């Protein structure tokens, strides 16, 4: 079995049942997009580097503390998988432990070049038609309303506030999703983010009009 199939098999036991948009197909799209961005930007990766790119793409949400209460155990399991499959453990862990939006709210973490591609690919999956679907799925799962004009958009927040304070799914577009296009690392990522953001802006404008 090649590394990509092994990664899919490995994450299936953690992610198949997730109803919040962090399922196996999310990881597959991130891996596919990361490869696409690398090609667009004409970056040449060694075989080792491709393994790092794929591993970080598939594994990034397995250790996310919004999806698991046993982050430390998950980290150990992921590290074992990487060792068993001869992937550079430090390179992958450095990416997946530092790439999330919430962990970058106060201090921006410097990612490796490969990490920047994986982070952009993950962010692009929060945008566009799929991004809209994921935002409402996640918000519904958390018990948030679709929209409430009396709940204000949160400004300047840290990870705790971001995760804990009551918000609505529509507010999430202003609190995070519309900001992502200016946070993209890569040239190809910036272009796709601009297109997907314009689509979401149309969607929210139509939503407000119907409201
Ligand atoms: P990260 O894992 O990078 O910290 P998030 O916790 O924001 O980022 O989760 C990523 C995905 O979950 C995105 O698709 C995002 O739209 C969705 N999401 C996160 N928080 C919310 C929220 N409060 N309302 C709606 N969707 C959310
Ligand atoms: Ni993700």
Measured in angstroms, how far is the CA atom of residue 91 from the centroid of ligand 1? 24
Residue 156 has pLDDT above 80, yes or no: no
Answer whether 29's CB lies under 8 Å from 36's CB: no
- To the question of pTM greater than 0.85 for the whole model, the response is yes
Name which of 72-76, 157-161, 172-176 the model is least confident about.
157-161
Q: Which of 138, 157, 165 to mutate to test the pocket of ligand 1 (most atoms within 8 A of CB)?
A: 138
- String of DSSP letters for 166-184: --BHHHHHHHTGGGGGGG-
Is the minimum distance from the CB of 123 to ligand 1 under 6 angstroms?
A: no
Q: Would you place residue 164 in the very low, low, confident or very high pLDDT band (cuts 50, 70, 90)? A: confident
Measured in angstroms, how far is the CA atom of residue 15 from the centroid of ligand 2? 11
Residue 149 has pLDDT above 80, yes or no: yes
Which residues, including other chains, have CB under 8 Å from residue 182's CB and lie 6 or more apart? none
Helix runs in the chain, H state only: 3-15, 24-40, 47-59, 71-84, 89-96, 113-124, 128-142, 159-164, 169-175, 187-210
Name which of 24-33, 68-77, 97-106, 186-195 the model is least confident about.
97-106
Q: Which of 134, 168, 169, 176 to mutate to test the pocket of ligand 1 (most atoms within 8 A of CB)?
A: 176
Q: What is the pLDDT of residues 6-19, one digit of tens each?
A: 999 999 989 988 88
Residue 171's nearest CA partner among 196, 145, 195 is 145
Q: Would you place residue 147 in the very low, low, confident or very high pLDDT band (cuts 50, 70, 90)? A: very high
Q: What is the pLDDT of residues 117-129, one digit of tens each?
A: 999 999 999 999 9
Measured in angstroms, how far is the CA atom of residue 172 from the centroid of ligand 1? 8
Is the minimum distance from the CB of 104 to ligand 1 under 6 angstroms?
A: no
């Amino acid at each position: 079995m090649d590394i990509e199939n092994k990664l899919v098999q490995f994450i299936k036991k953690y992610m198949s049942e997730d109803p919040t948009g962090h399922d196996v197909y999310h990881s597959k799209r991130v891996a596919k997009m990361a490869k696409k961005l690398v090609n667009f930007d004409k970056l040449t990766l060694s075989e080792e580097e491709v393994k790092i790119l794929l591993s970080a793409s598939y594994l990034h949400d397995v250790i996310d503390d919004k999806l698991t209460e046993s982050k430390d155990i998950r980290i150990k399991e992921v590290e074992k998988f990487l060792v068993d499959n001869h992937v550079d453990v430090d390179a992958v862990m450095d990416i997946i432990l530092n790439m999330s939006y919430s962990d970058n709210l106060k201090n921006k973490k410097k990612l490796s070049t490969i990490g920047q591609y994986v982070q952009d690919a993950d962010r692009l999956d929060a945008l566009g038609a799929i991004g809209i679907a994921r935002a409402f799925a996640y918000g519904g799962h958390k018990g948030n309303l679709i929209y409430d004009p009396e709940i204000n958009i949160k400004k300047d927040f840290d990870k705790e506030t971001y995760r804990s304070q009551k918000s609505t799914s529509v507010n999430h577009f202003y609190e995070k999703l519309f900001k992502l296009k200016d946070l993209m690392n890569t040239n190809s990522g910036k272009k796709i983010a601009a297109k997907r953001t314009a689509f979401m802006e149309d969607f929210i404008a139509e939503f407000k009009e119907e409201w």
